Amino acid sequence: MSNGSSDQQDVPAHLHGAAPLPYATVIAIDLVSGSKRRGETLRAAYRAVAAIDGGEIAAWLALGESALPSRADRPRNLRRMPSFAGDVLDPAQSHGDLLLQITGSSARAVRHAAERTLRALQHQQVRWRADGTRPENRTEDGRGLSRNPFHFTEGHGNPATAAEITERATVRTGQGEPSWAIGGSYQVIRIIRLATDFWDRDTVQEQERIIGRRTEGRWLDGTPSTERAVFATDPHGKTTPLDAHVRRAAPDRRHPPPMVRRSYNYDRGADDQGLIFSCFQSDLEKGFEAVQRRLQGEAMAKYTLTTGGGYFFVPPPGEAWLDRITEN
Ligand code: HEM
């Protein structure tokens, strides 16, 4: 499904040309139809999503490992999301055969599009759902930015050009992937609950040392947000602590992690608010998994709890992949 923005038309909907739309819902679905009808059901789901994509909505479908029973069909890195150190995955908020993500310019537009799609998929079962927003959603220097529940600007570390976004997020030939998957993307969702009360008790200076950037994005040594930080001149972490989030996430500034982040905030009231963390990559191990491993033991860990999410694969644009994976 394509993105309607004029400057980055070649970027598919899930990668959002300039910036993600400010409202989203992610819906994980379990296919209840028998395996014989799997092809038909996937096609119906694909068409239902294609019917709402465009205008003020950008929507896409992604496949969980369980939607592709034949190993030969399955993208190489696609598996059930493992539980990482510190995760407490709730099965009622994790995994699923399909992921349907609908993003839009208003909460109402997203809600209506979701109702329409779910009606078309009435025989399938919603496994879990999360609604999100991107407060202060905007584009600066080609990057989509928003404000996360810890009051920090998100998005500075993302690539700014369509070419770079595609390079990091899209499967190419020669990666050892099934040929139908070329042009697709791995999508990781993590439902991360954030202890905002506990966080808000710290001073802004303490919070900035935990993240490794100022709330607006400037680096702790004063380097502007759009330039590269130089950690090599601070080997002991006097200015930017060694366990700061950005330092762990991207220690080598010349080789940024090969992933594109597109997260939304969620707020379910009471104590349950946080991030619907979402990222796209061409290689799950080099992208999300490598960063997630480095983040183990980061200073922010005591404020976060991952309770759900999953690993999915967004097929390439068009319908050809449907024929290829249902041939077998
Ligand atoms: C727990 C919730 C999280 C919060 C509150 C958070 C917050 C932030 C903030 C404020 C930044 C700096 C601005 C930016 O570049 O966007 C950032 C950067 C980044 N985060 Fe996170 N993040 C979270 C989880 C994650 C996770 C789970 C991953 C991946 C496994 C991740 C990977 C990254 C990467 C790669 C960068 C860019 C680093 C750079 O290039 O400087 N973050 N995050």
Q: What is the pLDDT of residues 87-132, one digit of tens each?
A: 999 999 999 999 999 999 999 999 999 999 999 988 789 999 999 9
Would you say residue 287 has pLDDT above 80? yes
Q: Specify the pLDDT at position 253.
A: 83
Residue 26, token pair as written in the block: 């992610």
Residue 37 Cα to ligand 1 middle (Å):
40
Which of 196, 223, 277 best tests ligand 1's pocket when mutated (most atoms within 8 Å of CB)? 277
Would you say residue 3 has pLDDT above 80? no
Q: Candidates 3.30.70.270, 3.40.50.300, 3.40.1000.10, 3.30.70.3420; correct CATH number of 13-326?
A: 3.30.70.3420
318-325 mean pLDDT = 91
Q: Specify the pLDDT at position 4.
A: 39
Cβ of residue 250 lying under 6 Å from some atom of ligand 1 = yes
Query: What is the C-alpha separation between 187 and 259, in angstroms, rounded?
Result: 10
Nearest CA to 264 among 112, 87, 131, 160?
A: 131
Q: Specify the pLDDT at position 37.
A: 81
pLDDT digits (tens, 9 = 90+) for 241-275: 999 999 999 998 889 999 999 999 999 998 899 99
Could you report how far apart the first and last alpha carbons of the chain are, in Å? 25
- The pTM of the full predicted model, rounded to 2 decimals, is 0.95
Nearest CA to 99 among 317, 263, 309?
A: 309
Residues recorded for the chain: 328
Cβ of residue 191 lying under 6 Å from some atom of ligand 1 = no
All structural domains of the chain with their residue ranges:
13-326
Q: What is the DSSP letter of 59?
A: E
Encoded amino acid at 320, one letter: A
Would you say residue 297 has pLDDT above 80? yes
Percent of the chain whose pLDDT exceeds 90 = 82
The alpha helices in the chain, defined as continuous H runs, are 38-52, 107-120, 162-169, 196-200, 204-211, 245-249, 290-295, 320-326
Cross-sheet strand order for the sheet of 138-140? 138-140, 143-147, 153-154
Residue 276 Cα to ligand 1 middle (Å):
12
